[in-house]
């Protein structure tokens, strides 16, 4: 399309003052433009041809937001193709005709902008122009629009339904378990071994080392590890075996001191609890590893338990533990570290098994009930997934026009 055709297309397809101005300009300079057309030269650029403005500006209160935000969308300027547009400028005003202030700009090719500076409850007007950096096109206008905050995030409705169903599933089975229903739980080898491991340590007169991961409470895996420590501490307190718990997180240390202390108090040996055995080393990942490695080679624990969130240090710890001949049981949901624990530990709890551990060890009906609820929800996940797969397949094969299920899983 030549420059001249473009001007004509602007003329015929766009309305408003821009086109009018363009028409006047084109007509008055027509001979010159015609020459330029024939010569195929750049003379046209000497003529002040206005940039085509963006069109069809649409404004709406940003949905599912905290407020003070308006979302603008528009159709790109037809001058995008000629490379004349570099940016779009966005203006806002409380008045339809005057007082517009630039509130933002977006690069060529973007047709949407979110203005986070609106005032809730006050009508605002918007204008968007296209610009080459200096010259600016006429504007596309829209408004008035009022922004408001929302009390519900509609894009997360599916997560809410899921969470509610999940909570009900757990609570239902916990209640059922309270009623004394016998529940089957499949064997978890690593956990069965903990009893033996404590016994073995007692016989050998060697300590047990418990490492509850390198993360803090913000990782739920750490909470799971603390629950397991509670069960382990009960056993070591009974057998009067030394339990060493070095920590990388001060809050976890504070909690674990409580846990171990209570366990010793419960079996009637509060004096046997030594606070120096549940201690803080350092938050720093490999400084912590250096310290724990030292404890391993010097104390030679009979058993080492790794439970919780682990990072790269897993193999340094587990290989050092293996080299001093300890029985090692690991449990983590850190997918990247599982292969290392599997290679160098005697038993490894994989992912979700870590979360099942405290229920399994304590055999408390209430906790086992929770596990059952978890399984039921997993079943639901599987069924929903299958339905979604069938729906997607039918849509892909052209049997149905579209896939109605998968979008329901979409996250915002």
Partner 1 sequence: MSHHIIWTTIGAILTLSIYSFLYKDNPFYKFAEHLVVGISAGYYLVIYTFNFIVPNVARPVFGLELGGEAIRFAGLEWWMALIPGLLGLLLYARFFPKFAWVGRWPLGIYVGGYAGLGLSPVMQARVLQQMEANALPLTSLTNILLVVGLLGTLIYFFFSMRHKGVLGVFARIGIVFLMVGFGASFGYTVMSRISLLIGRVDFLLSDWLHLAGG
Partner 2 sequence: MRRQLPLTLCFIAGVFMAVQYFIPHWRVQDVYDRFLTWLQIIFAFAFLLGTVSLVKVHYHKIRNRAADRGFSWVVLAGLGSMIGLGFFAPGHNDPGSPFDMMFQNVQVPIEATMFSLLAFYIASAAFRAFRARTLEATLLLIAACIVMLGRVPIGDLISERIPEATRWILTVPNLAAKRGIMIGVGLGMMATALKIVLGIERAWMGGGD
Partner 3 sequence: MSWYDKLLQVDRRWIFLAIGVAVVVPFFVPLGLPVIVTEPVQGLYDAVESIPPNDKPLLLSIDYAPATLPELEPMALAILRHAFRNDVNVIVMTLHPAGYGLAERAVRGVAEEMEQVEGEDYVFMGFTPGVSAPILGLGVAIRNVFPEDAYGTPLDEIPMMEGIRNYDDIPLAITLAGWSAAEAWIYFAREPYGQQVGAGVTAVMATDYYPYLDAGQLQGLLGGMRGAAEYEVLIEREAKGVKGMDSQSVIHLLIIVLIVLGNVAYFAQRSARRKMALEDA
- Enumerate residues 293-332 that contact partner 1 by CB under 8 A: 293-294, 297-298, 312
Cα dihedral sign, 265-203-327-325: positive
d(CA 282, CA 313): 14
Structure letter (DSSP) for residue 56: E
- Pattern 113-132, partner 3, x by CB under 8 A: xx-x----------------
d(CA 328, CA 337): 15
Which of positions 26-45 make contact with partner 3 (CB under 8 A)? Answer: none
Tokens of residue 321, six digits: 């533990």
Complex with partner 1: residue 38 or 187, whichever CB lies closer: 187
- When CB distances are held under 5 to 8 angstroms depending on the partner's kind, the choice from partner 1, partner 3, partner 2, none that residue 170 binds is partner 2
Q: Which residues, at least 6 apart from 274, have a Cβ–Cβ distance to it below 8 Å?
A: 242
Tokens of residue 326, six digits: 């300890």
- Work out whether 101 is an interface residue with partner 1 (CB under 8 A): no
Stretch that binds partner 2, among 48-56, 80-88, 248-256, 402-410 (CB under 8 A): 248-256
- Work out whether 80 is an interface residue with partner 2 (CB under 8 A): no
Stretch that binds partner 1, among 11-19, 64-72, 198-206, 283-291 (CB under 8 A): 283-291
Structure letter (DSSP) for residue 305: E
Q: Measuring CA to CA, which residue among 325, 305, 296 is closest to residue 235?
A: 305
- Work out whether 375 is an interface residue with partner 1 (CB under 8 A): yes
- When CB distances are held under 5 to 8 angstroms depending on the partner's kind, the choice from partner 2, partner 3, partner 1, none that residue 262 binds is partner 2
Q: Measuring CA to CA, which residue among 111, 138, 116 is closest to residue 127?
A: 138
Q: In 205-309, where does DSSP find H-type helix? A: 220-239, 250-266, 285-299
**Of these, 186, 205, 271, 276, which contacts partner 1 (CB under 8 A)?**
186
Which of positions 295-334 make contact with partner 2 (CB under 8 A)? Answer: 298, 312-313, 315-316, 318-320, 322, 333
d(CA 31, CA 16): 25
Rounded to the nearest whole angstrom, what is the least distance from the CB of residue 391 to partner 1 in the complex? 8
Q: Which residues, at least 6 apart from 195, have a Cβ–Cβ distance to it below 8 Å?
A: 235
As a three-state string, the secondary structure of 161-180 is HHHHHHHHHHHHHHHHHHCC
- Work out whether 412 is an interface residue with partner 3 (CB under 8 A): yes
Which of positions 166-205 make contact with partner 2 (CB under 8 A)? Answer: 166-167, 170-171, 174
Tokens of residue 394, six digits: 């039918």
Complex with partner 2: residue 69 or 111, whichever CB lies closer: 69
Stretch that binds partner 3, among 109-117, 138-146, 198-206, 375-383 (CB under 8 A): 109-117
- When CB distances are held under 5 to 8 angstroms depending on the partner's kind, the choice from partner 1, partner 3, partner 2, none that residue 152 binds is partner 2
Which of positions 158-177 make contact with partner 3 (CB under 8 A)? Answer: none
- Work out whether 184 is an interface residue with partner 1 (CB under 8 A): yes
Check: CB of residue 103 under 8 Å from CB of residue 117: yes
List contacts with partner 3 (CB under 8 A).
Answer: 86-87, 104-108, 113-114, 116, 285-286, 311-312, 323, 335-336, 411-412
């Amino acid at each position: 399309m030549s420059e001249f055709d473009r001007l004509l297309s602007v003329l015929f397809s766009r309305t408003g003052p821009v086109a009018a101005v363009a028409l006047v300009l084109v007509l008055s300079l027509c001979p010159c433009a015609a020459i330029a057309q024939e010569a195929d030269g750049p003379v046209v650029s000497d003529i002040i041809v206005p940039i085509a403005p963006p069109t069809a500006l649409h404004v709406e209160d940003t949905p599912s937001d905290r407020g003070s935000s308006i979302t603008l969308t528009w159709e790109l300027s037809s001058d995008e193709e000629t490379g004349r547009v570099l940016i779009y400028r966005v203006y806002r005003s409380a008045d339809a005709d005057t007082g517009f202030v630039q509130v933002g700009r977006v690069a060529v090719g973007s047709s949407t902008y979110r203005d986070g500076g609106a005032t809730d409850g006050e009508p605002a007007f918007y204008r968007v122009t296209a610009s080459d950096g200096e010259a600016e096109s006429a504007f596309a206008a829209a408004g008035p629009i009022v922004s408001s905050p929302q009390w519900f995030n509609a894009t997360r409705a599916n997560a809410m339904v899921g969470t509610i169903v999940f909570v009900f599933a757990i609570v239902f089975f916990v209640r059922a378990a309270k009623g004394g229903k016998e529940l089957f739980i499949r064997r978890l080898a690593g956990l069965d071994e903990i009893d033996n491991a404590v016994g073995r340590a007692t016989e050998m007169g060697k300590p047990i080392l418990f490492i509850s991961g390198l993360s803090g409470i913000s990782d739920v895996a750490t909470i799971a590890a603390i629950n397991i420590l509670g069960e382990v501490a009960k056993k070591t307190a009974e057998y009067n075996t030394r339990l060493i718990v070095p920590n990388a997180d001060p809050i976890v240390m504070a909690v674990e001191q409580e846990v171990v202390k209570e366990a010793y108090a419960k079996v009637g040996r509060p004096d046997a609890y030594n606070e120096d055995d549940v201690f803080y080393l350092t938050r720093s990942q490999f400084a912590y590893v250096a310290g724990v490695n030292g404890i391993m080679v010097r104390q030679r624990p009979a058993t080492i338990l790794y439970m919780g969130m682990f990072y790269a240090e897993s193999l340094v710890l587990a290989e050092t533990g293996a080299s001093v001949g300890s029985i090692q049981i690991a449990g983590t949901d850190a997918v990247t570290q599982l292969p290392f624990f599997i290679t160098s530990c005697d038993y490894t709890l994989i992912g979700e098994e870590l979360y099942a551990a405290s229920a399994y060890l304590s055999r408390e009906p209430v906790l086992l009930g929770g596990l059952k609820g978890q399984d039921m929800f997993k079943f639901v996940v599987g069924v929903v997934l299958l339905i979604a797969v069938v729906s997607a397949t039918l849509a892909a094969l052209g049997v149905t026009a579209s896939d109605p299920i998968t979008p329901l899983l979409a996250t915002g």
